Chain A
Amino acid sequence: MSEALLEVEKLSAGYGDARVLDDVSFRLDQGGSLALLGRNGMGKTTLLTSLIGLTRRHGGRIRLAGRDLTAVPTHRRALAGLGWVPQERDIFPSLTVEENLTAIATGGAWTLDRVYDLFPRLMERRSNMGNQLSGGEQQMLAIARALMLDPKVLLLDEPMEGLAPLIVQELFRIIQRMIERDGLAVILVEQHAHQILPLTRDAMILERGRVVYSGDSRRLIDEPALLDRWLGVGAVELDDGTSA
C-alpha cells in the first residue's frame, strides 16, 4: 500500500476531560475525497478541529505527507498543508475580497488568478469589503482563502449550511471541480449526503465519536438501508434543501 497523504491513527480527542472522538482511524490518499457523515453531535466537526489542533488530544497520531503533526501547533498545521474552512467562515470584514485573499497568500500553486478562475463571482466583487458580501459570497471567500494557503488537504465543515438551493448547487459544482479537475484532496462534512456521496470516493460515518462505517461512498448510495440506519436520511431523494 502506498503512503497515505493524510493518516489518522487511533485518534481520541475532545474538550477538557470529555472525550468526543474515540479511536478514530482513517487514511486519505493524494487526490482522495472523503465524505464525513453522521447525525448532529456525533463528532464530525470535532474531528476536523482535532486535525488542525484545536481540541485536546487524549491519544493517537496524525501524519500529513509523511510528517507527524501530532504535536505541531495549529498555525503550523495550516502551513504544513491542512486547509480549514470552518462553519463560521471567519473572513476579515474590514478587508476587501482581494485583500482577504492576498493577505495570506503563500506563493504556492493556488494563485489569485487560479482562485478567481474557480470563483468568478469573487473577481467581480474583489473591491467589496468582507462585510458587504452575501452569505454565499462569504462562503466562497472562505474556501478561496483556504486555497490561497496552498493546502494539501482541504477540510470543509458544512459549507452549504444555511445557503439557498441555487448557491448550494453552485458550490457543489465548484467542489466537484476542485476534486475532479484540480485533484485536491478534500474532507467534506455535509448534511446533503445523497448529493455529496457521488462526488467523493470514500465515506466515513461517525456515531458517538466512533467510526461505524469506513469505505466506498458508492456502497452507501447503492444500499440506502445503511444510510437509513446511521443517518435516517435514506428516504430523502430530492436532497436540494427543498422538497418537490
Chain B
Amino acid sequence: MKAIDIIRNEHRALAAVLRALEATIADLRDGRRPPDFRLLAAMIDYIVRVPEEVHHPKEDGVFFPHIRAACPDAVPIIDELEHQHHRGREHVLQLAMSLIHFQAVGAAAQESFCAAAERYVAFSWTHIEMEERQLLPLLSDRLAPAAWAEIDAAFAANADPWRGTADEFERLFSRITALVPAPLGLGDRRSGLASRIT
C-alpha cells in the first residue's frame, strides 16, 4: 500500500470512530442510554492515540518535510496542519481529564465531558477535512515521482503502522466495533445506542 493510501485509510478509520462517538454523545445528552465507560474509554483511547502515536508522527517526520521542499504553495497549509498537531495535545489532556472526572463523579460531570468530547471531535474533523480537501488533492500533480517513492519507502519501512504495536490499534478498533451497539456497531442494541446514522 502506498503512503497516500495509508493516510486515507487512517482517516477513514478515525472518521468511523468519530461518527460513533458523536452518536454516543448525542444519546448520552438525550438520556437514551447510561454511559458505557468501557466504550467511551476505548473510543477516546483510539481517537487520541492513533493520531498522536501513529498518524501525526509519520506526517511530521516524513510527509510534510517532502511537501515543504517540493511544493512551496502548500507551505501555508502545512504550517497550519503542524500548528493543529501541536494544539491537539492540549485538547487530548482536557478530554482525558474530563473522562476521568465523569467516571469519578458521575452525572454531575456528564455535560463537561460531552462538551470536551464535542470540541475534540470538531477539531478532528477540521483537521481531517483540511488534509483531505486542501492538501492531498494539491499533491497528486505537484510531487515528483522520486519524492513519492521516498515517502512510500519511509511509510513501508514503518510496516503497517496503523495496526500499531502488535496490532494493538487493530484490536482496539475491533473492540470498539464490538461494543458500539447495532446498527452502528456489532454490540447488543438493548444496552447501546439508538438507531442513529447521520
Contacts and interface: CB of A to CB of B under 8 A. Distances in A.
Interface in A151-174: 164-170, 173
B185 A166 contact: yes
Nearest to B178: A121
A135 interface: yes
Contact of B15 (A120, A124, A135, A242): A242
Contacts of A166: 16-17, 19-20, 176-177, 180, 184-185
B189 interface: yes
Interface string B177-198: 1101011111001000000011
Interface stretch (B58-66, B82-90, B105-113, B127-135): B127-135
A198 B189 CA distance: 33
Given A165-B15, A238-B12, A134 B189 contact: yes
Contact of A173 (B17, B170, B182, B184): B170
Contact of A136 (B1, B140, B176, B182): B182
Contacts, number: 95
Nearest to A137: B186
A240 B12 contact: yes
B137 to A, nearest CB: 7
Nearest to B5: A198
B125 interface: yes
Contacts of A111: none
A194 B177 contact: no
B12 A237 contact: no
A195 interface: yes
A244 B12 contact: no
Nearest to B175: A120
Interface string A106-125: 00000000000000110010
B2 A198 contact: yes
A224 B184 CA distance: 30
A167 B185 contact: yes
Given A121-B186, A164-B183, 9 more contacts: A136-B182, A164-B19, A164-B184, A165-B12, A166-B19, A166-B20, A166-B185, A173-B173, A240-B11
Interface of B: 1-2, 5, 8-9, 11-13, 15-17, 19-20, 125, 128-129, 132-133, 136-137, 140, 170, 173-174, 176-178, 180, 182-186, 189, 197-198
Interface of A: 120-121, 124, 134-137, 164-170, 173, 194-195, 198-199, 221-222, 224, 237-240, 242, 244
